[in-house]
Chains A and B, each alone.
Chain A
Amino acid sequence: MFKKTALAAALGAAALVGASQAQAADYVVDTEGQHAFVQFKINHLGFSYILGNFESFEGQFHYDPENLEAASVEMEVDVTSLNSNHAERDRHFLSDDFLSAGDFPTATFVSTGFAPTGEGEGTLTGELTLKGETREIEMPVTLMGEGEDPWGAYRAGFEGSTMLTLGDFGIDMSAFPEVMHELELYVTFEGIRQ
């Protein structure tokens, strides 16, 4: 009985501590530990998928568990850091046939709103600028977890994905099969609370 009480008290204290840790704050995407990934997935002629990363990017977000609608995210991606593990293919993607990365080396995302849709889930709306074209996109996002890490920082981590229509961003896929006209953008990252 005493043990149960002690255990309950300990759990209660931990919960209180946990609760007091969650607060409105600014976070920086953890690119130093690289607990952050920006990936794309695109169909290859109907045979398989090509997967690739953008290896170099940075971002920050504002997250308040008590006021989710005020959440905001900003990301800046170095398009030239594209890596699909094939040098000639990466050159082709970066060329004027697709991304024109020489002229547009940076892609950005700036959120304009967030609408919660459930427990730890919501839809992020924002402006994606790619190849010089800015379009509003929506991305369903999941909060995967938040809390203190073993090394003294507080983290919040997310994942989200959305389909992009490449033609919207001036990337002409008309010579390719219909299945290749859209690309899936997948992101997962942890932010370290500042």
Chain B
Amino acid sequence: MWRNTRSGWGIVSILLHWLSAVTIVGLFALGWWMTGLGYFDAWYNLAPWWHRSIGLLLLFATLARLVWRFANPTPAGQGSRLEQLAAHLGHVLLYVLLLVVMVSGYLISTARGRGISVFDWFEVPALISGLPNQESIAGEIHWYAAVALMVLAGGHALAALKHHVIDRHDTLTRMLSPSRSRRG
């Protein structure tokens, strides 16, 4: 029940999925709110500090999640072949947008060669800096990719509900309980 099987998600995948989902939505809300702060607001520096720290931890977790995904079986798709294809493309796009958002965010703060501190525990070094207009271009990409991610995530949730309510598949319950992964 830790690992996935062809009939269900294991606990690790389920935890990674929901913790990521909450974190991603939370970071979007925090990010949007913090860009509306003024220079003299008490949270002007603190909010980005939280946003960057959580964002980088999410990046590491997502990379681990991808490794786990490829090291595990994937539960069988549900619905018509077209639906399964669309679902697969949608999921790939979710991963792509997620990585684009996090990497672009990283490239904003490291544009002048400075590393990013994660909760003052450790610093992630700047690997790419000094690109022309790096901080501005990365900033634009970061925002638009984040909005696209939210829209796609919304569609993802609606699709899951469609499977659950309309089709009566166990798509959603598979992601809520590891019991189906107990059967080989």
Contact = CB atoms under 8 A, between A and B. Distances in A.
Interface of A: 80-81, 83, 85-88, 90-91, 94, 101-102, 175-176
Contact of A87 (B38, B39, B110, B132): B110
Contacts of A90: 111-112, 135
Nearest to B110: A87
B169 to A, nearest CB: 45
A101 B135 CA distance: 13
Contacts of A83: 112
Contacts of A102: 136
A87 B108 CA distance: 7
B136 A80 contact: yes
Contacts of B40: 175
Contacts, number: 34
Max chain B C-beta neighbours (<10 A), residue from A87, A91, A94, A176: A87
Contacts of B112: 83, 85-87, 90
A194 B144 CA distance: 47
B48 A94 contact: no
Contacts of A101: 136
Given A87-B114, A91-B108, A176-B39, 13 more contacts: A80-B132, A83-B112, A87-B108, A87-B111, A87-B112, A87-B134, A87-B135, A88-B48, A88-B108, A88-B109, A90-B111, A94-B136, A101-B136
Contacts of A85: 112
B139 interface: yes
B80 interface: no
A140 B48 CA distance: 42
Nearest to B114: A87
A137 to B, nearest CB: 27
Instruction: Give 7 closest A-B pairs by Cβ, nearest first.
Output: A87-B111, A87-B135, A87-B112, A91-B135, A80-B133, A85-B112, A87-B109
